[in-house]
Amino acid sequence: MAGLFARIAALTAIYLLALGNIHPGDILDGVVLAVILVIGGRFVLSLRSAEGPPPAVSVPRRLAGVPALLGGTLVDIARGSWTVARYCLRPPAEAEPGIVTVPIGRSSPGSATAWGIRVGIAPDSVVVGVDEQQGHMLVHVLDARDPEAVRVTQLDGYERRQRRVFP
């Protein structure tokens, strides 16, 4: 029970820090939002435990993959920024922007979410949707002439950078 109150207090404090005000109404809003988040979180965790445990990956192994994930994401951002800059300055006549379906398999919701965020951070791609039941992600890219190359690039990024941290 003390852990529950600690979570609510911590979330309320974060809310007030982000808001920059400490008025009674703001405190009340923060507490209400924190209670909703804590109760919602417990509900979601109870649903996930009914599905069965996620695959066991040791915490040290996951943490060891964080530098590669962050570094690889920075490289993706730099490449995407360069691609967008070139596209804006001199759009290639043969480029065809479009949506490509990338298979994500039956990954965990956390893994699919992290993958979608990581792909969307790079400015040359935008995640349009993720369908966990079907096992695919829709990605809008600047050049969709070769969808297989886009799939290979996305799957390679997942395998090399993200899979270790978010299996």
| Cα 120 from Cα 135, distance rounded (Å) | 18
Contact by Cβ (8 Å): 124, 139 = no
pLDDT of 48 > 60? The answer is no
d(CA 81, CA 73): 12
Q: Please report the pLDDT score of residue 106 as a whole number.
A: 67
pTM above 0.75, yes or no: no
pLDDT surpasses 80 at 33: yes
Contact 124, 22 (CB under 8 A): no
Measured CA to CA, the distance from residue 35 to residue 100 in angstroms comes to 40
Indicate if the pLDDT at residue 107 is higher than 70.
no
- Output the pLDDT for position 113: 82
Handedness of CA 164, 109, 143, 71 (dihedral sign): negative
- The dihedral sign for the CA sequence 23, 8, 41, 105: positive
Band (54; pLDDT cuts 50, 70, 90) = low
Confidence band for 164, pLDDT divided at 50, 70 and 90 = confident
Mean pLDDT of 96-111: 83
Give the pLDDT of residue 47.
57
Pairing of strands 136-141, 125-131: antiparallel
